Amino acid sequence: MKKRGFTLIELLAVIVILGVLALIAVPVIDGAIKNMRENSYQQQIANIETAAKMWANENIYDLPTEENPVKTLTLEFLIQNGYVEKTIENPKTGEPFENLVVVVTYEDGGLSYEVLINNTPVGMQPDGYQENTPSIIMNGSPLIYVGIGEIFTDPGVVAKDQSGTSLSYTTTFIKADVQVSSIDTNTAGTYYIHYTVSSNGSTNTAIRTVIVK
């Protein structure tokens, strides 16, 4: 008995059906992957916060106080002291976390912990930040105390685009919501240094706090 093959119309119908299924399946799979990465990302952030709390439990004499209410722990510090694994990565990018710190603050007799990336709280990064935004890596701590009359030298930042090429950046000094020309260490006060970098139509800003006291 002669076997009957597929007709051209039948083959086209199969192709159309497969195309429709692909249109349905691809967004679902893509969404599932993004959700998985987001969940892993949040878990990593939670692990880093837990590591900071472990440090606090073991270093009670170094904790922030009412007189000095803020302590900044860099990810590098937590790794070097064994509180975080050296292989920790950002699940969204597959690359090591950059410019991540945990700010420990003394308030109302207790301690609060906040994870910042590029001096922005986790969860407040703009949409598309990981994929499109140039990076800013601070040199030194995002919080610096300077004594009255001392000389302050801005450590600056390292700015790069997504390919790793170094970029120039602009620096702005803010005090009491007013732009000033520089940090006056002869007068007590809180200053914010805004570092801004732009690349391919995308802009990123990091903020350093300088307290003169």
The verdict on residue 30 lying in a domain is yes
Last residue of a domain, one of 125, 142, 161: 125
What is the C-alpha separation between 14 and 107, in angstroms, rounded?
65
The verdict on residue 42 lying in a domain is yes
Q: How far is CA 92 from CA 38, 43, 59, 99, 162, in A?
A: 7, 12, 32, 15, 14
pTM of the model: 0.50
Q: Same domain for 183 and 121?
A: no
The verdict on residue 8 lying in a domain is no
Q: Same domain for 76 and 168?
A: no
Q: Same domain for 111 and 23?
A: yes
Last residue of a domain, one of 125, 149, 169: 125
The verdict on residue 2 lying in a domain is no
- The residue range of the domain holding 193 is 131-213
Contact 208, 195 (CB under 8 A): yes
More confident residue, 61 or 125: 61
Over residues 140-168, the pLDDT tens digits come to 877 888 999 999 999 998 888 877 788 99
3-state secondary structure of 123: coil
Report the CATH number at residue 144. Answer: 2.60.40.10
When the pLDDT of each residue in the chain is averaged and rounded to a whole number, the result is 80
Q: Same domain for 151 and 185?
A: yes
Q: Same domain for 135 and 205?
A: yes
Q: What pLDDT sits at residue 93?
A: 75
Q: What pLDDT sits at residue 100?
A: 83
Over residues 16-56, the pLDDT tens digits come to 787 777 777 666 566 666 677 777 888 888 888 888 889 88
Q: Same domain for 46 and 110?
A: yes
Number of domains in the chain: 2
Q: What pLDDT sits at residue 38?
A: 77
The verdict on residue 198 lying in a domain is yes
